[in-house]
Amino acid sequence: MQPFSKVALITGGARRIGAAIATYLHARGYAVAVHAHHASQAQAELVAALEAKRPGSTLAVQADLRERDAPAALMARCLERFQRLDALVNNASSFYPTPLAEATPEQWDDLFALNARAPFFLAQAAAPHLRAQHGAIVNITDLYARQPLAQHPLYCASKSALDMLTRTLALELAPQVRVNAIAPGAILWPEQGKSEPAQRALLARTPLARLGTPEEVASTVHWLLDGAEYVTGHTVQLDGGRGLT
């Protein structure tokens, strides 16, 4: 197997923002472990495209990160394949409404398991390997980690937990490992759709007056991994200025 200068594990890496991150890092010399909940055509096509550019530089892995043993098992697969880890990108996430009157303990457990618990235990499993390489972690949080979204209290709380974990892990893993986060605003419309009036209203509250792009998230991930050498415990608000309004 050919050696790699750096190796990154990207959770939720098969589609949308995660696929953009995997593609961007791969283009800059990383070997990438692309995680998905289940094997899918999207994951297979992405890995095949990256392999065509640089054979032996990818790994497709599947795991339900809500399962307690999944973080350690996922890390073991990555290390078995590449023998090192330089970057962990906690991108996998779950998003759905949980109005106060209807929210259930099962929804609490589901959202916190994927959005907060899994990133923590992935960081725990990755820590000795990241320390060895003086690597970095990037967590994908959300503008709504600090700015509440109506009808989504559990999602907001779970992302707020990840925001705080970013800062506490930065202390725990310093000085060898840096830990930062990105809080995206409107990057892609939700897969379940968003009405045109709602789209216009959101963009009207965004000073830069447009959606961000997955590639802009990916380039910020790359900067936090490889360029921001004196930055740790920080959350970059990648929201076109919407947090100002």
User: Is residue 240 scored above 50 in pLDDT?
Assistant: yes
- Please tell me the predicted confidence (pLDDT) of residue 193: 62
Q: List residues bridging with 237 in a β-sheet.
A: 183
In whole angstroms, what is the distance from residue 142 CA to residue 189 CA? 14
Q: Cβ-count burial of 80 within 10 angstroms (0-12 exposed, 13-18 middle, 19+ buried)?
A: exposed
Per-residue pLDDT, averaged over 207-224, amounts to 96
Lowest mean pLDDT across 142-146, 164-168, 203-207 = 203-207
Does 29 or 1 have the greater pLDDT score?
A: 29
Matching residue, tokens 């996922």:
74
Residues with active-site annotation: 155
Domain boundaries in the chain? 6-244
- Please tell me the predicted confidence (pLDDT) of residue 202: 86
In whole angstroms, what is the distance from residue 223 CA to residue 140 CA? 14
pTM value is: 0.95
Helix residue ranges, H only, the chain: 16-27, 41-53, 70-82, 105-112, 118-133, 153-173, 196-204, 214-226
Rg (CA), the chain: 17
User: Is residue 3 scored above 60 in pLDDT?
Assistant: no
pLDDT tens-digit map of 70-102 = 999 999 999 999 999 999 999 999 999 999 999
Lowest mean pLDDT across 94-103, 122-131, 200-209 = 200-209
CATH superfamily of domain region 6-244: NAD(P)-binding Rossmann-like Domain (3.40.50.720)
What rounded mean pLDDT belongs to the chain? 95
- Please tell me the predicted confidence (pLDDT) of residue 195: 78
- Please tell me the predicted confidence (pLDDT) of residue 65: 98
Listed in sequence order, the residues at least 6 apart from 22 whose beta carbon sits closer than 8 Å to its beta carbon are: 8, 10, 13, 32, 34, 46, 50
User: Is residue 200 scored above 90 in pLDDT?
Assistant: no
Query: Residue 56 in contact with residue 1, Cβ under 8 Å?
Result: yes
pLDDT tens-digit map of 11-70 = 999 999 999 999 999 999 999 999 999 999 999 999 999 999 999 999 999 999 999 999
- Please tell me the predicted confidence (pLDDT) of residue 1: 46
User: Is residue 120 scored above 90 in pLDDT?
Assistant: yes
